[in-house]
């Protein structure tokens, strides 16, 4: 099933550049794995913000939860999830 995920990034602006870069590259690497596993299907930036909107696919909400908390930035993400129902037009 598919989920629309919206994440605000609360990493403090004062975070040292090195720590920030470490988190970002870890984030990219883990996102790549989630893409390859078919869990992360699309990812967008919300213009002007550090957060993102993503389209995920997972067998159930607990599996989605596990994927989201596996992101290194996860402790600073404020995440809201919407379960999406298949539209009859796409059956």
Q: Does 1 bind its own copies (CB under 8 A)?
A: yes
In contact, 82 and 68? CB cutoff 8 Å: no
Q: Does 45 bind its own copies (CB under 8 A)?
A: yes
- Among residues 20, 76, 64, 61, the alpha carbon closest in space to that of 39 is found at 64
Q: Does 34 bind its own copies (CB under 8 A)?
A: no
Among 2, 30, 57, 72, binds its own copies (CB under 8 A): 2
User: Which residue lies nearer to its own copies by CB, 37 or 89?
Assistant: 89
Residue 51, C-beta contacts closer than 8 angstroms, at least 6 positions apart = 6, 7, 8, 9, 77, 78
Contacts to its own copies by CB under 8 A = 1-5, 7, 10, 13, 28, 31-32, 42-49, 52-53, 55, 60-62, 64-65, 68-69, 75-77, 79-90
């Amino acid at each position: 099933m598919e989920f629309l995920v919206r994440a605000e990034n609360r990493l403090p602006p004062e975070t040292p550049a090195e720590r920030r870069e470490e988190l970002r590259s870890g984030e990219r690497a883990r996102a790549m794995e989630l893409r390859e596993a078919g869990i992360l299907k699309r990812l967008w930036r919300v213009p002007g913000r550090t957060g993102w909107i993503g389209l995920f696919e997972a067998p159930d909400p607990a599996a989605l939860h596990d994927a989201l908390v596996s992101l290194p930035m996860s402790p600073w993400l404020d995440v809201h999830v919407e379960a999406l129902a298949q539209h009859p037009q796409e059956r």
